[in-house]
Structure 1
């Protein structure tokens, strides 16, 4: 079950954190993985590691917030072989309330998290339509469902992700194109470690424990756990699922009271 043999997947932000775990698992399950990443050097390193293990992978340096560049990269891939899966995972975070979020920061978040996702949809969906099939998975966040302190711009962007997911699922319901999204709670990635080290020097262990306990289950998710759900939703076994936002949050939304 959950084989991706002979499938071709585009994974944005696929060289670090959740995206890295998805790239690794999809490749392990037989997919030809194309890693679309702002950090081209990191993407090539990940692709080289996957190739060394006998998997199929390529790296592509691209800023998904730039439409022309995104279209050029995706068209270059689709001209070589059909693409079956698009994982819109690239995203950035920001800390701030409405009155403390600078316009430049708000624009930066929206450009990557919202416009970047739109750019990938814009470039890939025509290819799916021509092939008569396609699977799209977007990375949202529990921040779009519940209030998270000091995450105004990030929350706005992830709310847009869920809305775009529903819109795409509806528009292409009869074109054999499925579209879903994931909404993780806090996941233990290098970003979390960097955030704690920067904002709470000398209190890293204490803050890590505190942030972990905000999930009712008592810990943060591991990237591989998010990747496992992504695998299911992009597999043929999930063929009856579209237009859904999947919470993967250790009980945060429903049990945090």
Structure 2
């Protein structure tokens, strides 16, 4: 699909080079948004995403910064600011998508203190300070979308620490929605369910794949594009009257149970 003409908006997508983040980056770029594709380590994946956007007529830049370490938020925004200058773009940001995160597939008894600290550093602390540093850059009428998980609203013991970290992110959405409403900025959460990102090794097992697909009322796994379309709606003009919302993007997982 060809990219539309640039519309003047700029977005930061954390974890934007693979999986759901890549789909969000591509989707926003098709809307004419200049996309900053943040990533942690995989230079090849980030450059491939940028080139794919450019090949479709869009504009993008890659921002490398490891999350979950001291100074991570400053590193993200320093790279973002420098990237805009290099492209001759106006400073500031209109859309921030907090997508980057790590999982921790362990029951309570098996979670170490190091595990716990790491998952919260990446999934909760990093987006908190990314948004704190975003505030002076975020234009009035902007959009913030936090990518959470259905695990924050259902009992799923094998992901207890991960679910807790996402639950904290859900609370951040509510607080910021109230704070930023006077500026016309919406803040929402999108919560995926079982999604085929291509980087989940358990989905290579046909039995596991089948069981997870059956959890949806549509009898299939979600795709990154399914999630990206939901994000794009909230990030666009049509989502202007929705804020503080937790959007179930699971395909009806556990519906009726």
Normalised to the residue count of structure 1, the TM-score between the two structures is: 0.89
Change over 3 Å in CA distance of 1:90–1:8 after alignment to 2: same
Deviation at 1:48, TM superposition (A): 1.9
Deviation at 1:51, TM superposition (A): 1.5
Alpha-carbon separation, structure 2, partners of 1:3 and 1:27: 10
Structure 2 equivalent of residue 111 of structure 1: 121
Q: Is the 8 A contact 1:40 1:62 kept in 2?
A: no
Alpha-carbon separation, structure 2, partners of 1:38 and 1:76: 12
Deviation at 1:227, TM superposition (A): 0.5
Q: For 1:1-257, what aligned pairs fall within 5 Å after superposition?
A: 5-41=7-43, 42-78=45-81, 80=85, 81-128=91-138, 131-192=139-200, 194-197=201-204, 204-255=205-256, 257=257
SS of equivalent residue, structure 1 residue 48 = helix
Structure 1 unmatched ranges of 5 or more: 198-203
Deviation at 1:212, TM superposition (A): 1.2
Deviation at 1:206, TM superposition (A): 1.9
Deviation at 1:253, TM superposition (A): 4.2
Alpha-carbon separation, structure 2, partners of 1:66 and 1:236: 35
Deviation at 1:208, TM superposition (A): 1.1
Q: Deviations over 1:106-134 (max 9, x none)?
A: 11110100011112111101222xx4342
Q: Is the 8 A contact 1:4 1:235 kept in 2?
A: no
Alpha-carbon separation, structure 2, partners of 1:236 and 1:78: 25
Structure 1 equivalent of residue 88 of structure 2: none
Q: Is the 8 A contact 2:124 2:169 kept in 1?
A: yes
Q: Is the 8 A contact 1:65 1:119 kept in 2?
A: no
Q: Deviations over 1:56-89 (max 9, x none)?
A: 0100111132352432431453474221000000
Q: Is the 8 A contact 1:187 1:221 kept in 2?
A: yes
Normalised to the residue count of structure 2, the TM-score between the two structures is: 0.89
- Report the RMSD for the aligned CA atoms in angstroms: 1.9
